[in-house]
Amino acid sequence: MIITRKSGSFLLSAALTRAGVALLRGNPPGGPARWERRNHAGKSVELYAAPASALGAAVAAARVHPGAGLAVLAAGACGAYDDVAGDHRRGLRAHLGALRDGEVTSGAVKLFGISAAGLVAGALLTERPLDRLLAGVVIAGAAHAVNLVDVRPGRAVGAVLALGAPGLLREGPAAGLSAAAMGAAAAVLPDDLGERTMIGDTGAHALGAALGAAVVAGNRRAGLLAHAVALVAAARYGDRVSAWARATVTG
């Protein structure tokens, strides 16, 4: 059997994610209680899939392109900060409003941290200044977009699988990066749908960044511009996107 770059990325990401979940579940740092969260229905779920999926996708993405791996890892780290220290505010407006009042929220840290990581990755993935800027917007916007739909079991990982699938039809880095995101998502999908685990902001931002890097690797300026506009619009109307995700049946 021939292992292509995209199938290799998928398998590596999935294997590392499953191994990470098993390792954390077997020996959770700080004890199991630290890794328990309440989902939308008030049910207790595990957060082991959050760092496991982020690291799995980051390693597989770095194997395709170091810049992409950096973006995925940084997005996951910013999401992890929000998982640990996040407050009740939702939406960019609320966090930017708090920032204007002199309060640095976890959402503001995510916004600027992921944006900076996206710009750095964009500089490594593209060559021209405008393309680098657009790439940064796409990577950061995709990370935010996946987090927007992470409102019910299976929504975020389902979105990653659906949005990443067209990338598998390509060749080269775009296919490998799409596969990196999809492998981690596929690895956690059964437990996510079964309300046994959740990927949190850590996993959602990391997998979204991997999808964004795949878009950057597979498009020229016109494609980057179209994706950037769509993702900025999604961020602008984030409440509506989240509401649509809540109403969407995934299984």
Closest CA to 155 of 107, 204, 115, 219: 204
| pLDDT value of position 1 | 39
| pLDDT value of position 38 | 87
As for how many domains the chain has, the answer is: 1
The model's pLDDT over 59-115, given as tens digits with 9 standing for 90+, comes to 999 999 999 999 999 999 999 988 887 665 565 665 556 556 666 677 777 888 999
Asked whether the whole model's pTM tops 0.95, one would answer no
| pLDDT value of position 250 | 44
**Which range of residues forms the domain containing residue 33?**
5-247
The model's pLDDT over 187-223, given as tens digits with 9 standing for 90+, comes to 999 999 999 999 999 999 999 999 999 999 999 999 9
Could you give the residue ranges of the DSSP H alpha helices within the chain? 5-26, 49-64, 66-85, 92-100, 106-125, 129-148, 155-164, 173-193, 200-218, 221-236, 238-247
